Amino acid sequence: MPWMPFFIYAVVSSFTPGPNNIMAMTFASQTSVRRTLRFCVGVSVGFFSLIVASSVFGVLLATWVPKMEWGMKIVGAIYLIYLAYQVWKSTGSEQNTEQIEANNRFFTGVVMQFVNPKAIFYAITVMSSFVIPYYTSPLSLLLFACLLGGIGFLSSFSWSMLGGLFQTWIEREERLFNNVMALLLIYCAIALFL
């Protein structure tokens, strides 16, 4: 197995801006890194589940994905635009902490992976291109799912740390920050079709 390209692909795909990372940064800037931890763990568990599903149904997904691509893109784009709207309209300092917590749950992080086109395509690509050609035993696939889920956690947690680190600046420039984050999410939605 080409380990270096595998790790480069995994790290670049996980750490570049995407819905998980943008939401982790936004949640941390509105609450705290500690309160965002549940979301980050949810992202990791959801991504782990997605990797397991990609492993188990790799051949089936490879056959169906070209036929489902537009449907997945449309659902993903709608969800990204919804997230952008939520970020854009939020007023973190005035927003009720309970509402922020309701948006910052473990379950949100898990479910988000199954409508996140970046995560879906990443899971399918990393497993079909780098792992399954070399490893097919259930134990090895499970270990790769754990490794990739861990990388996903490190990614979203790193972005939440950035949100926590710049929390004072973000609170001062809240409208600007929310607008930029919303525009990045809209860019993610548009990029699906380019």
For position 76, what pLDDT does the model report? 64
Q: Residue 146: what pLDDT?
A: 96
Question: Which comes out higher in pLDDT, residue 78 or 53?
Answer: 53
Burial class (CB in 10 A: 0-12, 13-18, 19+), 64: exposed
- Which pLDDT value is given to residue 66? 62
Mean pLDDT of 85-102: 62
pLDDT > 90 fraction of the chain, expressed in percent and rounded: 20
Q: Name the pTM for this structure.
A: 0.73
Mean pLDDT, residues 58-73: 63
Confidence band of 102 (pLDDT split at 50, 70, 90): low
Are the beta carbons of 160 and 25 closer than 8 angstroms? yes
| 185 pLDDT higher than 80 | no
Binned at pLDDT 50, 70 and 90, residue 98 comes out as low
Of 33-42, 45-54, 97-106, the one with minimum mean pLDDT is: 97-106
pLDDT the model gives residue 94:
47
Reported as a pLDDT band with limits 50, 70 and 90, residue 39 is very high
How would you write 79-143 as a 3-class SS string? HHHHHHHHHHHCCCCCCCHHHHHHHCCHHHHHHHCCCCHHHHHHHHHHHHHHHCCCCCCHHHHHH
> What is the average pLDDT value for the chain, to the nearest integer?
81
pLDDT per residue as tens digits for the range 126-177: 887 788 778 888 899 999 999 999 999 999 999 999 988 887 887 788 788 7
